[in-house]
Structure 1
Amino acid sequence: MAFARLIVRVGRHVGDRLGRDLFSTPALDMMLDLYLRDEHRPISLTSLCGATNVPGRTALFTINRLVECGLLTRYPDPRDGRRVNVDLSAAGLRLLDECIEELISLIDQCGS
């Protein structure tokens, strides 16, 4: 989890320094936001859109693409049928776990 938090911090730093309008990764931002939640708890579609620094339509387009690719799941909120929840799929969680492990390995190789 610590490394995932570092990825988020690095992304924010790059966006702050170089401009979020040029350097944004909404799909990664959304997936990491879900990944870092306690026990990967699902959140509302609206809340996930707010996790990025992109317009709402772009955020919804990105979520739809992630769902189509099998990386996120979207389903009605069991307590409030008007809301839609979003969570990482098993494939999305596995992909992030693998990616983080690979990044850690690359960093370890640089130190060798």
Structure 2
Amino acid sequence: MAADARDEVDDIVAAWQRERPDLDTTPMQVLSRVTRLARHLDRARRAAFAAHSLEPWEFDVLSALRRSGPPYQLSPGRLVTETLVTSGTMTNRVDRLTERGLVSREADPADRRGVQVTLTAAGRSAVDAALDELLEQERSLLSSLPPRDAEALAASLRTLARHV
């Protein structure tokens, strides 16, 4: 491998191979890079959301509503499922988003005891703008990969994720 094609993970793996030649360090070659890329992605996500005055958790809730399609409305229980948080956490998040005018609570016409969380026009504008920024950041992160390689990487990661 050419010296300019090496990265810090190659150095870490080489050191482990030197110190522990009895171990197969192949998983590190993939997963250490995934971990490092995840850190870069997290920073890019936070920057994209901050540019539109959103926290990552706010984007998660707003984007779940936006992806649901018109009328951009979900039950709190469905939001819990979509965002992988507890119901208590979701109640707090909906309260905070309601205070900011990004969502509203409405009575569920199918169940008078229930409520639906609805994306407001301001919420839709915020999540759409943040998504545009996020995709720009993500394109930048992937810019060194030819499209065919990006597609192959996506397919490989999908296969891996299905089995984890």
Whose RCO is larger (CA < 8 A, sep 6+)?
1
1:72 maps onto 2:103 in alignment = yes
Give a deviation string over 1:53-92, Cα, whole Å, max 9, x none: 2222111101110111111111101232111001111000
Q: CA RMSD in A?
A: 2.4
The residue that corresponds to 2:63 in the other structure is 32
Distance in 2 separating the partners of 1:34 and 1:47: 10
TM-score when normalising by structure 1? 0.64
Per the TM alignment, residue 49 of structure 1 is displaced from its structure 2 partner at its CA by 2.3
- Give unmatched runs, 5+ long, in structure 1: 1-13, 15-24
Per the TM alignment, residue 26 of structure 1 is displaced from its structure 2 partner at its CA by 3.4
Report the residue type matching 2:98 in the other structure. Answer: V
Count matched residues.
89
Q: Percent identity?
A: 30
Q: Quick check: which has more Rg, 1 or 2?
A: 2
TM-score when normalising by structure 2? 0.46
- Give unmatched runs, 5+ long, in structure 2: 1-37, 39-55, 144-164
Q: State the secondary structure of the residue aligned to 1:38.
A: coil
Per the TM alignment, residue 38 of structure 1 is displaced from its structure 2 partner at its CA by 2.6
Per the TM alignment, residue 51 of structure 1 is displaced from its structure 2 partner at its CA by 2.0
